[in-house]
Chain A
Amino acid sequence: AQSVTQLGSHVSVSEGALVLLRCNYSSSVPPYLFWYVQYPNQGLQLLLKYTSAATLVKGINGFEAEFKKSETSFHLTKPSAHMSDAAEYFCAVSDGGGFKTIFGAGTRLFVKA
């Protein structure tokens, strides 16, 4: 069975500081991994996805994530936070044979001026 754990339901950073949102997964098969973002009063949108190509994946708005098989992690980072990054971020995993995508509980990012 697959699962996703997001460490920290809330993360607060100062504007210009590094953003690090943690995600660990469990999967019995090589996983496909996703980060989605949900801005206030909006639907979820895809930030980036890992599909067994390059382990460092670059997404929109300057975010990137690195797949580390040995650590079963797929942490999301951004070098310099912007106020507009304040949102809720969801990590998700799916296997290669099915359609079902399992989402983590989400991490709400706060950015302080």
Chain B
Amino acid sequence: GAGVSQSPSNKVTEKGKDVELRCDPISGHTALYWYRQSLGQGLEFLIYFQGNSAPDKSGLPSDRFSAERTGGSVSTLTIQRTQQEDSAVYLCASSQDYTSTDTQYFGPGTRLTVL
């Protein structure tokens, strides 16, 4: 596609439920990132995928968070047993290659609200 897309754009859930957030990166981009943006805070790195390599999960805040990337393209971020503190905007980004200087292209985000 023309850009990174994310779905849903908004998600309201009840505490304790599981949620899945989807990211479609730009076609041909090998690197994919997930970030969390909480109110009044910067972007918090969550996880990174590069091609078929094992993802770096060092930013995931707890074992309730997991992510996968199928076929080197679409990625799903899953949050199990959601808590109110999980409420945030979840941003996905992709870049053409794995270098520190490569520009990341961001999706519009999924706003998650946990009641």
Central interface residue in A46, A95, A96, A103, by most chain B CB within 10 Å:
A103
Whether A49 contacts B103 by the Cβ 8 Å rule is yes
Q: How far is the CB of B39 from chain A (nearest CB, A)?
A: 11
- Hey, which chain A residues are within 8 Å of B45, CB to CB? 100-103
Q: How far is the CB of A31 from chain B (nearest CB, A)?
A: 9
Whether B31 contacts A99 by the Cβ 8 Å rule is yes
Say yes or no: is A28 at the interface (Cβ < 8 Å to chain B): no
Whether A99 contacts B42 by the Cβ 8 Å rule is no
Q: How far is the CB of B18 from chain A (nearest CB, A)?
A: 25
Residue of A nearest to B5 (CB): A43
Residue of A nearest to B45 (CB): A100
Contact of B48 (CB < 8 Å), options: A90, A99, A102, A105: A99
- Hey, which chain A residues are within 8 Å of B99, CB to CB? 99
Central interface residue in B35, B42, B50, by most chain A CB within 10 Å:
B42
Whether A51 contacts B103 by the Cβ 8 Å rule is no
Say yes or no: is B109 at the interface (Cβ < 8 Å to chain A): yes
- Hey, which chain A residues are within 8 Å of B3, CB to CB? 43
A36–B37 Cα distance when bound, in Å, is: 14
Whether A99 contacts B108 by the Cβ 8 Å rule is no
In the complex with contacts A9-B40, A103-B43, A105-B40, A44-B101 CB distance below 8 A: no
In the complex with contacts A42-B108, A43-B4, A99-B43 CB distance below 8 A: no
Contact of A103 (CB < 8 Å), options: B4, B42, B50, B100: B42
- Hey, which chain A residues are within 8 Å of B108, CB to CB? 41-43
Q: Which residues of B contact A (CB under 8 A)?
A: 3-4, 31, 33, 35, 40-43, 45, 48, 50, 56, 59, 91, 93, 98-101, 103-109
Selected A-B contacts with CB under 8 Å, 12 pairs:
A32-B100, A32-B101, A45-B105, A49-B101, A49-B103, A51-B101, A95-B100, A99-B48, A99-B100, A101-B45, A103-B45, A106-B41
